Structure formats: structure tokens, C-alpha cells
Structure 1
Amino acid sequence: MDVPDDQRWNHNIEYHSLLAEAVADAKDVLDVGCGEGQLARRIRRSGAAVTGIDPDPVSIELARAQSAEDDITYLRADFLEYPFEPNSFDGIVSIAALHHMDSTRALTRMRELLRPGGTLALIGMARNGSPRDLPWEAAALLTSCKDRLFRTQWPHPSPVVWPPPETYGEIRRRAADLLPGVRYRRHLLWRYSLVWTKPDPAAAQG
């Protein structure tokens, strides 16, 4: 049964607001790993021009079917190979997609495509790598159980990769190396966020 966007919930949708707010001032937004397009549609309603890219044909077909004609540009393609021009977007978002790709190549590509002064906001998934992760795991389990008592989880149609290939610590270090000044935050429900604004030399001189 088709479920309207405002009635859907799952562990990814929980963090859509974080990403949408991070790029609220962007005019041209790229959604990497857009899936069936719920986040892209939300950002489009703010007035931004949105491009969604995903290699999965089923997801892209569903995304196009749920958006008005020509309202959002959806590309069925490999983000790492698609010939975008550098500095093409002032906002880039991605949710639960980075672990489907080589993280170094993907973060480097996002950095290249972002205009100076633009913002990258990403929700990712990683796996536990040390005993310090165990309290987070326990909290996530408790929170998820509580949420499921009051919410029905919407099963997204996109492909799943589990377990993620990298640990939280590995992702945090890689992001710090590739995106100096990035804000990394660990979240409940088995997620982390990266928010980074690309330095703008012109603004610094002004």
C-alpha cells in the first residue's frame, strides 16, 4: 500500500530534518543515493532545485513516479562516475548511502562538487569497533524498541548493505582528514552525521 510521505517513518526518515535544515539556504542541492526520493521531495518544497542520483533502477522509477514531471531531476547513475562539473552545487545531502561506496572516493567527490561556501550534510551508517560503542548499541536498541511501540516502520525499497564496511572511528578519522573542520556527531538508531561547509576564500578576503 502506498503511504504518504508525512505518514512514513523509519531510522533514516528520523534524520531527514537534520539534513534539510543544514541545506535550508542552498539553491542547488544534490541528493546522493536518493532512493525513492522522499528527502529530495522535502528539500524541493523549500524552493531549491534538486538533483537526485542513485544506481538502483527500481528506486529511481519510484522516485520519478512520486514527483511532478520535471520537478526534480533524477539520475539513474553511479555517483562516483557521473560527469558532474566541479563546484556544481551549494548543497549536498546523503542518507545511508556512503557505506555503499568507497568512502574516500565518495567524500572527495562530494568535496569537489560543492561550491565554496556550500554545505555537505550526510547521515551514514557504520559498525561498532570498540567496547566504547557498546553503550551506544544498548541505547539504540532501547530507543528503537520504544519507537516501534508507537510507530509503524515504513520499509524502504532501496538495496541494503549490512554490516557497513567501516567502524564509527574509521569514518570519523577519514572525514576529518578529507573535510577539515567537519562536524561529526554520533546519533541513536545506528547513525552518525557529518556536516561540513566548504571554505570560501573570497568571503574570507571580503
Structure 2
Amino acid sequence: MTTLPRRFRHALDRFNAAHPWDHNAHYHRWIMRQLPGSFRTALDVGSGTGDLARLLATRAAAVDAIDSDPAIVARARELTPLDAPVTFTIADALTGVPAASYDVITCVAALHHLPFTDALAHFRRHLAPGGTLVVVGLWRAQTPGDHLLGAAATLLNAAMGWIKNKGRTASLSASMTAPVRPATMSFPEIVREARRTLPGARLRRRLFWRYTLVWHQD
């Protein structure tokens, strides 16, 4: 199903390519609002170039940031001050978590690369009592409402690109050129499976083809 004329969508695609911006970083400040003012340890899964990990380090005593891409981990290390309490590790999210438990776990635009239910169960095991898990993920459009929201996001995406780049043509940053895998789960499927694994999880469909999940460990 499409909600915008093909020629118009192609024109928007060309415009967006010339005015890119980071959809995931758009939610970083929102993520921080879901977290305590300070905490001891944090894990950022799929950390990319480390923007969120460095934000977490402003509140945490120690942050472990893991990503499976060696090149992007190397770039994250280059961008991070030596005195920042962040350790970047090349690791698989399901087998390479460095510590037994964390007060905070974040996962942005990485969960759809993993077995969904297994990954949530894995995060739950590594979350300390009283800890908080925050996920920003991708969902697959399925219903007419999904496609209408996608059409609105397409238009807003162009406006945000223009504003963030101040009208100038921009180049892609390293965090925006990482491999992208399309989402395979619809939002209702995500809600159903998430609440089976994380009872009481709060999920919300968001703009820019994202959803959010927040869960607190008892």
C-alpha cells in the first residue's frame, strides 16, 4: 500500500539523500529522560559511533558499549575522550555482554538484527534489580494506519533534514552509513512478544519508523 504518489516519493527520496540526519540520535534525549539522574553501570547494545554511550557516561560510573562492527567500534573509540568512563567492545549482543548485570540497558535500532524474544530475555537476565531497559526499535508497516503514519513521517523527515542541515547539502556520518536491515515484525507483533517476555513493558509507536519500549526490573 502506498499513500504518496510515486513521483513525489522519488523527489522526497532525492531530497532526503541530500539532507540526511540521524533518526536514532533524535531519540537519545528522550531515552535519557526515562533514566535515573545517576546510576552505577550501563550497557549500550549496538553502540555505533558511541553518541548514546557518551551521554550515558554523564550519569553512570561505568558504561559498557558493544557493537559487532570492528570499524565502527574503532571510530567510537577515536571520538571518545580518554577520561570518559566508557569501554567500547567488539562483541555479539547475545554472547559477548561484558558484565553479569547493569542498572541500565539501552538498545537503539539494533533489536531487529537479533532474535527478538531471545534478545529481550537476554537483556532481562542482565538487568539488575530495579534496573531500566530502554529500546528504540524499527517496526514493519502493515495496517493502513501504519502507512499513513509512514507518509506523515516521510514529509516530516524532509522538514527535519532541512532544519538540521540549515538547508545545506550534507554528507553522511559514520553512524548513518552502518548496514541497515529492514524490520520484519509489525508493531502489534512486537507488543505481543515483548509483553510475554517483559510483563508490564510500555511500548509506543513513534514517528520516523521507530517504536519505543521501556521496562523496569523488579
Structure-2 residue corresponding to 1:197: 216
Name the TM-score, length of structure 2 as normaliser: 0.81
Supply the AA of the counterpart residue of 2:188: G
Q: Which runs of 4+ in 1 moved over 6 A?
A: none
CA contact (8 A) 1:26 1:118 kept: no
Structure-1 residue corresponding to 2:33: 21
| Local SS of the residue matching 1:115 | strand
Note the C-alpha offset of 1:22. Answer: 1.7
Question: Structure 1 residues 45 and 84, CA, compared in 2 at 3 Å: closer, same or farther?
Answer: closer
Structure-1 residue corresponding to 2:199: 180
Supply the AA of the counterpart residue of 1:82: G
Structure-2 residue corresponding to 1:150: 163
CA contact (8 A) 1:59 1:157 kept: no
List aligned pairs for 1:117-136, cutoff 5 A.
117-136=130-149
Supply the AA of the counterpart residue of 1:191: R
**Structure with greater Cα Rg:** 2
Provide the aligned C-alpha RMSD in A: 1.9
Note the C-alpha offset of 1:83. Answer: 5.3
Does residue 77 in structure 1 map to residue 91 in structure 2?
yes
CA contact (8 A) 2:47 2:66 kept: yes
Supply the AA of the counterpart residue of 2:94: L
Distance 1:11 1:23 in 2: 20
* Bigger shift: residues 175-184 or 22-31: 22-31
Structure-1 residue corresponding to 2:184: 165
Q: Which runs of 5+ in 2 are unaligned?
A: 1-19
Distance 1:91 1:195 in 2: 11
Aligned length: 191
Could you tell me the percent identity over the aligned residues? Answer: 38
CA contact (8 A) 1:59 1:158 kept: no
Name the TM-score, length of structure 1 as normaliser: 0.86
Note the C-alpha offset of 1:174. Answer: 1.0
